[in-house]
Amino acid sequence: MLYWKNLRNFVDMKTSIDYLPGYVQNDLRQIVALIREEMQDVGMIILFGSYAKNTFVSHDVTQDYGGGLIEFNSDYDILVVSKKRLGKSEGNIESRIRDRFAKGKDEDEITKIQLISESISKLNNALSEGRYFYVDAVNEGIMLYDSGEYTLATPRDLNYAEIKKQALEYYNARLLEVERHFRHFQADYSVGDYTFCAFDLHQVTEHLIKAIALVYILYGYKEHDLKYLLGKIKQHTKELHKVFPRNTVEEKRLFDLLRRAYLEARYNPKFVVTKDEVDILHSKVERLKEIVEKVCRERIAYYESQIMQMNPFSEIRQEILRIPQKGLLLQ
3-state secondary structure of 148: coil
- Whole-number pLDDT of residue 60: 55
- Whole-number pLDDT of residue 263: 96
- Whole-number pLDDT of residue 320: 46
- Of 3.40.50.1820, 3.30.460.10, 3.40.50.11900, 3.40.640.10, the CATH number of 3-146 is 3.30.460.10
- Whole-number pLDDT of residue 236: 85
| Nearest one of 108, 77, 113, 82 to 95, comparing CA atoms | 113
Q: How far apart are CA 169 and CA 172, in angstroms?
A: 5
What is the chain's alpha carbon radius of gyration, rounded to the nearest angstrom?
Answer: 21
Q: Are the CB atoms for 218 and 131 separated by under 8 Å?
A: yes
Q: Where are the alpha helices (DSSP H) in the chain?
A: 22-38, 50-53, 90-102, 120-129, 132-140, 160-190, 194-217, 226-233, 240-243, 249-267, 275-310, 316-321
Q: How far apart are CA 265 and CA 302, in angstroms?
A: 39
Sequential DSSP letters for 156-198: PPP-HHHHHHHHHHHHHHHHHHHHHHHHHHHHHHHTT-HHHHH
Q: Which residues of 164-184 are buried (b: 16+ CB within 10 A; e: fewer)?
A: bebbbebbbebbebbeebbeb
Q: How far apart are CA 162 and CA 130, in angstroms?
A: 9
The domains of the chain are located at 3-146, 160-321
Residue 291 burial (C-beta neighbours within 10 Å; 0-12, 13-18, 19+): middle
- Whole-number pLDDT of residue 219: 86
Angle formed at CA 282 by CA 323 and CA 272, multiple of 5 degrees: 150
Q: Specify the CATH architecture of the domain 160-321.
A: Up-down Bundle (1.20)
Sequential DSSP letters for 232-243: HHTTT-STHHHH
Q: Are the CB atoms for 211 and 201 separated by under 8 Å?
A: no
List the chain pLDDT tens, one digit each, 331 residues. 454 444 443 457 889 999 999 999 999 999 999 999 999 889 999 999 889 999 887 755 555 545 554 566 788 999 999 988 776 566 688 889 999 999 988 877 788 898 888 999 999 999 998 888 899 899 999 999 999 999 999 988 878 998 999 999 999 999 999 999 999 999 999 999 999 999 999 999 999 999 999 999 888 888 899 988 988 888 788 788 889 988 899 999 999 999 999 999 999 999 999 999 999 999 999 999 999 999 999 999 999 998 988 776 555 444 544 445 556 554 4
